[in-house]
Amino acid sequence: MELLLLSNGKATECPGLLGWARDRVQSLLARKQVKRILLIPYAVIRSDWDARANELGESLGVEAVSIHQFDDPVDAINRADAIFISGGNTWRLNQLLHEYGLIVPIQRAVRERGVPYVGWSAGCNVATPSIRTTNDMPVCNAAVLPALGLFPQQINPHYLDASISGHMGETRDERLAEFCAINPSEHVVALREASLLQISGETIEYWSARGEGFKIFKHGETPQEFMDAAPLAALTPFTPRV
């Protein structure tokens, strides 16, 4: 399996979509000899799908085509060199993945054929077992929680522990504590902006463009910050690369 799970698509450090992680993405594409990226941009409104693919292709210097350009989206997955899922609204994205019947085809492509999967923000959320740790509003009329489950733990992308003065709503830490209280046997991996997890075969690596750590949340435990993937050894089948 080749997974790149990124907290976010754009960061102030480096212009362009995935600019902050461009070296890592391009290196993966070169290693897997990817000629063309298949982009699933369902998290944004339809009128933006082609623009998102063009933006991605220009930023990475590789052809990128939105899946809606193919007559049969399942066939497009089956023929894909690389599957990229971009950010936006996680609910809309997950709903359309299910409606178009893409869950199992993507799982097979990634798990059985080793097709690289690169997902950021909403595209990172749907790579986990469910979208229960999304930050997005459930704007759709349907609510579907199970997702691709390529990564075996919930991830919370765009993680931040700052809060806005005067705001009385829950902080992110409080929301994640609620998740853990309701689901005490589960862990949540919280990824800050400009950070990522890379799974390559049997190994897992953590990297942050800002030199920051990630956190792990579990009910009854104080969340801790980590600078490398070592603590993921107990939570995933992957071997940490530290």
List interacting residues with a second copy (CB under 8 A): 7-12, 45, 88-89, 92, 121, 131-141, 143-145, 157-158, 160, 162-164, 166-170, 175-176, 178-179, 181-183, 193-194
74 vs 103, beta carbon nearer a second copy:
103
Q: How far is the CB of 64 from a second copy (least distance, A)?
A: 20
Residue tagged active-site, from 59, 66, 86, 158:
158
Between CA 90 and CA 74 the distance in angstroms is: 20
* 16: its two tokens: 């362009």
40 vs 110, beta carbon nearer a second copy:
40
Active-site residue 121, yes or no?
yes
Residue tagged active-site, from 121, 130, 187, 195:
121
Active-site residue 158, yes or no?
yes
H/E stretch holding 177 reads: helix 172-182
Between CA 113 and CA 44 the distance in angstroms is: 28
Q: How far is the CB of 47 from a second copy (least distance, A)?
A: 10
Pair 49, 68: CB distance under 8 Å: yes
88 vs 116, beta carbon nearer a second copy:
88
72 vs 170, beta carbon nearer a second copy:
170
Sequence-distant (6+) residues with CB within 8 A of 201 are 1, 2
Q: How far is the CB of 97 from a second copy (least distance, A)?
A: 15
Pair 229, 196: CB distance under 8 Å: no
Q: How far is the CB of 105 from a second copy (least distance, A)?
A: 23
Residue tagged active-site, from 59, 66, 86, 136:
136
Pair 151, 118: CB distance under 8 Å: no
DSSP track, 23-89: HHHHHHHHHTT--EEEEE-TTS-GGGHHHHHHHHHHHHTSEEEEGGGSS-HHHHHHH-SEEEE--S-
65 vs 196, beta carbon nearer a second copy:
196
> Closest by alpha carbon to 110, among 138, 148, 75?
148
Pair 207, 192: CB distance under 8 Å: no
Q: How far is the CB of 115 from a second copy (least distance, A)?
A: 27
The type of residue at 51 is: A
Active-site residue 136, yes or no?
yes
Residues with active-site annotation: 121, 136, 158
